Amino acid sequence: MDLLNLPASVLCTLVGPPGSGKSTFAAHYPDSWRVCLDVYRRLATDSEADQSATPVAAEIQALLLDARLSRGLTTLVDSTNVFAHVRTSLIARARYWQRPAVAVLFDVPLPTVEAQNAGRDRVVPLHIVREHHQLLPDADQLQREGFTAVHPISELLATPGAPRR
Ligand code: CTP
Ligand code: MG
């Protein structure tokens, strides 16, 4: 079931710390819509956590973004995207292809994020979760950066009928 109606051609950037539920959200949409640095790091090194593969993963992601956005295909960026320069480059790509850029903000309280992170197979070190949570922008900041719409997950989950996970 769709949590959010994503129109054709939109670039949807998920913004949230590890464990906040980005991939769980993305799983509600067709798998081919999703670009994900973790997946490409794993394909390059057998480990999605191996940061030495981030440059090659970013290149693969950029190729796929261009391939999809040039065709007007809806695309979900399933990475933390908590650093402003990363979001700036995603917005620039959407603009280059004249596609709308929207963001889903995972404004999940830190204790919930920590609990979700602790309860899964791939546990990210706590200090990284906390650092990323602290870097989380607010909706106004994302709008100022150029996202045409910003959807806080807290509001999407509060919508009657929306799945809780
Ligand atoms: N989860 C949950 N309820 C939600 C969202 C997520 O219980 N509303 C659980 C998931 O089942 C998973 C864990 O929280 O076990 C982390 O969710 P995930 O989607 O993997 O988080 P990501 O943000 O994708 O984390 P990462 O950046 O590390 O990939
Ligand atoms: Mg994920």
What domain range is 64 assigned to? Answer: 11-157
Neighbours of 79 (CB within 10 A): 24
Structural domain contains residue 15: yes
Structural domain contains residue 100: yes
Smallest CA-to-CA distance from 126 within 57, 134, 58 is with 134
Structural domain contains residue 3: no
Structural domain contains residue 71: yes
| Nearest ligand to the CA atom of 16 | 1
Please say whether the beta carbons of 103 and 156 come within 8 A.
Answer: no
Structural domain contains residue 6: no
The CATH code of the domain that includes 123 is: 3.40.50.300
| C-alpha to C-alpha distance for 84 and 74, rounded to whole angstroms | 22
- The residue that leads in pLDDT, 1 or 43, is 43
pTM greater than 0.85 (yes/no)? yes
Measured from the CB, is residue 19 less than 6 Å from ligand 1?
yes
pLDDT of residue 7: 87
| C-alpha to C-alpha distance for 8 and 31, rounded to whole angstroms | 15
**What average pLDDT does range 1-19 have in this prediction?**
88
Ligand 1: atom nearest CA of 80 is 27
Neighbours of 49 (CB within 10 A): 13
Distances (CA, A) of 100 to 30, 59, 64: 19, 22, 17
Structural domain contains residue 94: yes
> Whose Cα sits closest to atom 1 in ligand 1?
21
DSSP letters spanning 49-101: T-GGGHHHHHHHHHHHHHHHHHTT--EEE-S---SHHHHHHHHHHHHHTT--E
pLDDT of residue 160: 66
- The residue that leads in pLDDT, 94 or 51, is 94
- The residue that leads in pLDDT, 51 or 161, is 51
Report how many domains make up the chain: 1
Pocket test for ligand 1, best of 4, 15, 20 (most atoms within 8 A of CB): 20
Kindly report, residue by residue over 112-155, the tens digit of the pLDDT: 999 999 999 989 999 999 999 999 999 999 999 999 999 999 99
Residue 1 has pLDDT above 50, yes or no: no
**What average pLDDT does range 153-158 have in this prediction?**
90
Structural domain contains residue 1: no
pLDDT category of residue 162 using cuts at 50, 70 and 90: low
Task: Retrieve residue 37's tokens.
Answer: 């640095």
Task: Retrieve residue 163's tokens.
Answer: 């799945």
Structural domain contains residue 163: no
| Nearest ligand to the CA atom of 21 | 1
Residue 161 has pLDDT above 80, yes or no: no
pLDDT of residue 60: 97
Task: Retrieve residue 14's tokens.
Answer: 């998920």
| C-alpha to C-alpha distance for 151 and 16, rounded to whole angstroms | 12
Kindly report, residue by residue over 63-114, the tens digit of the pLDDT: 999 999 999 999 999 999 999 999 999 999 999 999 999 999 999 999 999 9
| C-alpha to C-alpha distance for 9 and 41, rounded to whole angstroms | 26
Task: Retrieve residue 10's tokens.
Answer: 């939109």
Ligand 2 centroid–CA 79 distance in Å is 7
Q: Which H helix or E strand runs over 132?
A: helix 126-134
